[in-house]
Amino acid sequence: MDDLQKVASSIGEALSALGNEFTSVWLIVQLGLILLAGVIGTLAAALLRRRVDIVTFSMGWPPMLRLMIRLLLDNTGTIIAVLLLIIMRHGMLALTWPSRSYLLGVATSLATAWVVIALLAGMIRNQFLYRLVAVSAWAIAALSILGLLQPTTEALDSVAVVVGGLRITPLLAIKTTVLMMLTLWAANAASDFLDKRMQASTDLTPSIAALIGKLIRLLLISFAIVIVLSTVGIDLSALAFFSGAVGVGLGFGLQKIVSNLVSGIILLADKSIKPGDVISVGDHFGRVGNMGARYTSVDTRDGREYLIPNEDFITQRVANWTYSSDLVRLFVKFNTTYDSDPRRAQTAAVDAALSIERVLKKPAPQCMLVEFGATSIAFELGFWIKDPAAGITNVKSDVLLALWDTLAQQGVKIPKPGPARVIYELAHEDEPQPPADDPDSFPLPSGGEGGPAKGRTG
């Protein structure tokens, strides 16, 4: 409480002194000079931005130098105002007592601190973190310039709550939060840089590169947390109280998170799936994108990106179309009438498949006769492709369209769809009808071999 009273008394004395100064003409003069410097700096910066195209001017420069030039241009108004304030203060010191230019000195120090902080914090790309760092650093600098930093820190450290042997104060919370955000940002930036290096390496497989990247990120974040806790003076042994709570939380509420984390490490280690693989899991089919700590993204051809928990890849059946080879064999089925030559139909089907660009010449397509149906002959055309990520249904559609045209050119007929019983009755109106409850009793058309047709009747 004594520290709080010291801060309050210091602020009261400063306000009292400022109130006394309002009765002096020199305070009005200093405020006018500060306002004039700010207006001139703003107008000069606006004129400079209109005359200078920073993109054209810095074309071809290194990225860091371009960023620094842009930050300087953004703070040009403040820099010009600081220079004018320095000139004005020196002029005031030469003409009158130093006490009559004190406000100019404070304004100069505050503006200079803001420029330096803005240039340094501008290297941070995250806008929220940039604002937090800039405002926090400038607030500390302002308190130091005004002589209030020491009383403020003592006041914030005087109020404390003891939890499990750990003394928690507002000052400790502020320091820990700011340092934690800075170190975590630095750890993430470093891990992103190293992860890009890993992905660009040709000596590592995608899954091993992703696994190493995740381990590096985990180690850097853990190291950053330990460094922050040690820096602010927190004894790690005092956190034993919280470790029990974390263990209970893992046991009751975080099983899925831990399961997904462990599953992700297993997937990266055993290389059952890796970034770039074409997979189907459940109702989802697509290319594996990012493999995160909790989920794996699967990009589909309709523009959707499914985030599937890693645990599903361990507990469910997964079809990896490119696990050991990019070759994928597809099948299309078609039927022809009995008055068409089946060998000509097979040749026409193979030619139709070879006419499609995505169908591989080797291994060559094959067309097999698979069934003599009640009203038609069934064929199955198999062919190979090497790019399943480009789509499966579309290449089947192209083959079927080519098959339609090729069969027509070869004089091979495709039967019209319809129930087998109706077609049979129309063709054999004068013959005795089979029992209604015996679908296998349909005899083959004339010219067919054997007895009744078994299997599919459509």
Q: pLDDT digit string (tens) for 305-352?
A: 888 888 888 888 888 877 777 788 899 999 999 989 999 999 999 999
Q: What is 325-458's CATH number, 3.30.70.100, 1.20.1290.10, 3.40.50.2000, 3.40.50.2300?
A: 3.30.70.100
**Maximum C-alpha span of the chain:** 130
- For residue 318 the two structure tokens come to 């997964």
CATH class of 258-320: mainly beta
Per-domain residue ranges for the chain? Answer: 2-159, 166-253, 258-320, 325-458
| Tens digits of residue pLDDT in 416-445 | 765 554 444 445 455 444 443 333 333 333
| Tens digits of residue pLDDT in 110-159 | 888 888 888 888 777 777 777 877 888 888 888 888 777 788 888 877 77
| Residue burial 153-173, b: 16+ Cβ < 10 Å; e: rest | bebbebeeeeeeebeeeebbe
Q: Express the helix, strand and coil content of the chain in percent, nearest 5 each.
A: 60, 10, 30
CATH class of 166-253: mainly alpha
Question: What are the counts of helices (DSSP H) followed by strands (DSSP E) for the chain?
Answer: 16, 10
Q: Please list the alpha-helical segments (H only) found in 122-162.
A: 127-145, 149-158
Q: Whole-model pTM?
A: 0.46
What is the rounded distance in angstroms from the CA atom of residue 57 to the CA atom of residue 68?
13
Residue 382 confidence (pLDDT) above 90: yes
